[in-house]
Structure formats: C-alpha cells, structure tokens
Amino acid sequence: MATDKLPIIAIVVPCYNEEKALPLSVPKMLEILERLNKMGLADKASYILLCNDGSKDRTWGIIERLHLQDTRIKGISLAHNRGHQNVLLAGLMTAKDHCDAAISIDADLQDDPEAIISMVHKFHEGKEIVYGVRSSRETDTWFKRNTAHAFYTFQNIMGLETVYDHADYRLMSNRALDLLSQYGESNLFLRGIIPQIGLKNAIVTYARSERVAGESKYPFTKMLSFSIDGITSFSARPMRWIFMTGIVLLAVDILVALYVLISYFFSDHISAGWASLMLSIWALGSMILIAIGVVGEYIGKIFIEVKHRPRYAISDRLWD
C-alpha cells in the first residue's frame, strides 16, 4: 500500500467537544508523523484521522480548518453522538482500507504520543497489535486511580479478558483491522474484543499526563456504566453468580427451617424475632431486584443485537 515500501500509518483520534484540545494536540501528532518519516518508519502519506462524535461545540469547524491547512489531516463526522467506542470504530473502519496500521489515541494527549514511535518499532518487528499501557497513574486523583484499579480487578473476576491499565491507545495492523471488522455486535467494548483477535501482540508502556485542555469525558458514573457494559457483553458469569447465590440462600433457608421445627417441638415458645424477619425480607427483596436487573441487562442487550441497526452513520467526510 505504501509507495516506497514504508508503511502508511493512520493516527485515529475520536473527538467529542474537543475544540480546546485539538489546536494543541494535532501539531504534536503531525510532528510525530514527520519524525516517523525521517526515521524511515512510516511513509510520507501517513495521516491523522479526526473523528467527530456529534460534538456540540466547534470541534467539526476546527477539523475543517485544520484539513484546509494540511491535507494529512482527514476528518469524518457522525450524524449523531454515538459514544466513544462507536466513533472510534468508525474511524478505524474508515482508515482500514487506507493504511498499513492504525493507531488510536484520544485528543487530550493524556496518552503520551511519543509512545507512537515505540509502537511503530514493534510493528516493524512483526507485531500486529501493540497495546499502550500506563506505567503509572500519578496524575490521577486518589479516587480515580483506586476505582480504576478496582474496575480492572472486578472485570477479571467476572471473566472479562482485558489488558490491565490499557485504555484504547493501541496500534492495529491492517490484518487486525480486517479481523475486527468481522465482529458485528452493537454493544461495543473494544478493550474486550481486541484481545480475542489473537494475533502477535506487544506492550509499550508510557507515563500518563494531565489533559492539555478541556474536561474529562469519563467521570465515575460513566466509568461504572462502561465497566458494566463490558462485563455483560463478554461474560455470563454474573448470571451464574446469581444462581450460586440462590443455592446458598436455599441452604440457609433449610437450616433456618430445621431450627424453627426443632424449636417448635422441643421449646416452650418461639421468639417473635420481628427485627430479623423484617431484615430478611428486605435483604431477599433487594437480592431479587438485583437479580432481575442483571437478567434484564442481558435481555436488553439481546434486544439491541437482534435488530441489527447500524452502529453509526457518517454524515460528513474530509478526504482528498
């Protein structure tokens, strides 16, 4: 695909309300592309693909202006806001037929773009998927750092295979992108899908920085929702745990029934025990509602999947 046997590298950047970050991050990424070309690692036709996820600010206008200034900056815009995973997939699938490898990175530069050079080195060594993994979370708050680690641990317990401390900063070869395109689910969790592809892979570590501008798009509630989506998209273990909890409660119920019968026949009276009775009712009621909610989560995902609706629609494209 490359003109002089050097690979064409596409840097795919999902963008949602990033009008403040793009003027700072895009020049840095262009500089990385130029260095890759001078080092003989990437073709001069390598480019940046900015993917607008239905932003409410001037993000698309800035992408149009950057494209006019430098044709190495491409752009697509989704017709509606579809979320980080869908806009990232849209960018990767758009770049798939126009590159030898694509690197996904967020626009805020929290993920060190210098690691791109190491990723491309790994690509030249024959690796087809290269994960960017954070060496530390010193710039995160204590709360975010510990909740993130808790989520990774919880995902592993629930049977979800992910790369620890890896977000969506990675390199994928053209062959890996072709294999990714065969995964047709609507409930996207790329961090769980890509390890299942199974090609030769490697890890590149980097220090995570603070955002260059703008606000985080992943507050605690969104992180929690994202983690739940990932678990329920890849593992049936939560429903199995519900079943096992039911077995344990049945055993407890049998023991309580034996105690009540023995007390009835061999004691003068049975304590009323209103407090314990009420607590048991509330506890069991809560567990039943949780169980119904978990099962409903899976049924909801089935409902979405069987309709086979498009995952995204591209309304505008900037490509020479």
Confidence of residue 87 (pLDDT cuts 50, 70, 90): very high
pLDDT at 144: 67
More confident residue, 194 or 264: 194
pLDDT at 171: 97
pLDDT in tens, 202-244: 999 998 877 666 565 556 666 666 666 666 666 666 777 777 7
More confident residue, 220 or 32: 32
Give percent of the chain above pLDDT 90.
46
pLDDT at 276: 64
* Domains defined for the chain, CATH in brackets: 9-235+309-318 (3.90.550.10)
Query: Do residues 94 and 49 make contact, with C-beta atoms less than 8 angstroms apart?
Result: yes
Instruction: Tell me the average pLDDT across 87-99.
Output: 95
Instruction: Tell me the average pLDDT across 57-77.
Output: 96
More confident residue, 107 or 251: 107
Q: Which of 33-37, 53-57, 143-147, 168-172 has the lowest mean pLDDT?
A: 143-147
> Per-residue pLDDT for 319 more than 60?
yes
Query: Do residues 12 and 106 make contact, with C-beta atoms less than 8 angstroms apart?
Result: no
Q: Tell me the torsion sign for CA atoms 197, 202, 205, 206.
A: negative
